Amino acid sequence: MSQLELLSSVKAHGGWIKRYRHTSQSVKGDMVFAIYLPPQAETQSVPVLYWLSGLTCNDENFTQKAGAHRMAAELGLAIVCPDTSPRGSDYPGEHESYDFGSAAGFYINACVEPYAQTYKMYDYVVSELPQLIEANFPVTDKKSISGHSMGGHGALICALKNPGQYQSVSAFAPIVNPINCPWGEKAFTGYLGEDKATWKEWDATSLIEHAKERLPLLIDQGEADDFLVEQLKPEALEVACEQAGHPLTLRRQPGYDHSYFFISSFIDDHLEHHAKALQ
């Protein structure tokens, strides 16, 4: 583990939450991630759930607010939480808004300069980070993926674009159709350019039709979410799944908003969903 720098270690529910820094080849700079190792990891290898966080977040939001560690310990499930974006660059305008640049990497591979140099979060999440985790921790090669909002978008596209790599996928309030919402249009223009035809490669709703694997989707969406109508549009994914015959469980939760109060209320269901597929 010489390539990993331990930043912190905290015991929780018999396991350990650890934060590490390492130099990433994908983003050409230092990245930080958190990992929860359940108590079972002391004697055996355990499967991994990758969690992708949303706009303005980093690796700590989920570990501090989701309340996932009790159930993860019970299920024998490791959880890896990467950061949302490359850090350390200082491109013009990169830090000026919450929905582009810093903390808004959107889990895609940018092709517009200067972001094409370092904004390769898709490569980092799908390839580099799992290889690092599997080489340095007591985990199996079985993995699942989940996330919230922008991270829910990331989880969906990672699973849809990589058949066979993930045992299961779920999301909380995901941006399911970024090519048709303000958040996505802004990010995709800045990272991918003006050719909207190329955007579909990074849009879950567009990917459903030709998905090579019909991995069931579990999605929770709060009905009191302020971003529901303009940004999230779960009905677009619902229609696409119905037309393609893709299994989707979309649970609309009355009264719940976009926050981690919502996530913590239903995270146990998602962990059990993933543990069933992984074990």
- HSE of 31, CA atoms in CB hemisphere, 13 A: 26
What tokens does 60 get?
């700590």
User: 149, 168, 170, 206: which one is catalytic?
Assistant: 149
CB atoms closer than 10 angstroms to residue 8: 10
Cα 217 from Cα 245, distance rounded (Å): 12
The yes-or-no answer on residue 149 being catalytic is: yes
Residue carrying the six token digits 């499967």? 47
Looking at the DSSP assignment, which residues form a beta bridge with residue 101? 104
User: 83, 203, 220, 225: which one is catalytic?
Assistant: 225
Cα 82 from Cα 62, distance rounded (Å): 10
Q: C-alpha dihedral over 97, 101, 107, 113, to 10 degrees? A: 140
The yes-or-no answer on residue 226 being catalytic is: no
Cα 239 from Cα 144, distance rounded (Å): 24
Residue carrying the six token digits 């399911």? 176
User: 69, 246, 258, 273: which one is catalytic?
Assistant: 258
Question: Rounded to 5 degrees, what are φ and ψ at 148?
Answer: -125, 130
The yes-or-no answer on residue 69 being catalytic is: no
DSSP state for residue 44 in the 8-state scheme: S
The pairs formed by 113-120 with CB atoms below 8 angstroms and a separation of 24 or more are 114/89, 115/91, 115/190, 115/191, 117/28, 117/89, 118/27, 118/28, 118/29, 118/86, 118/89, 119/27, 119/85, 119/86, 119/191, 120/26, 120/27, 120/86
Catalytically annotated residues:
149, 225, 258
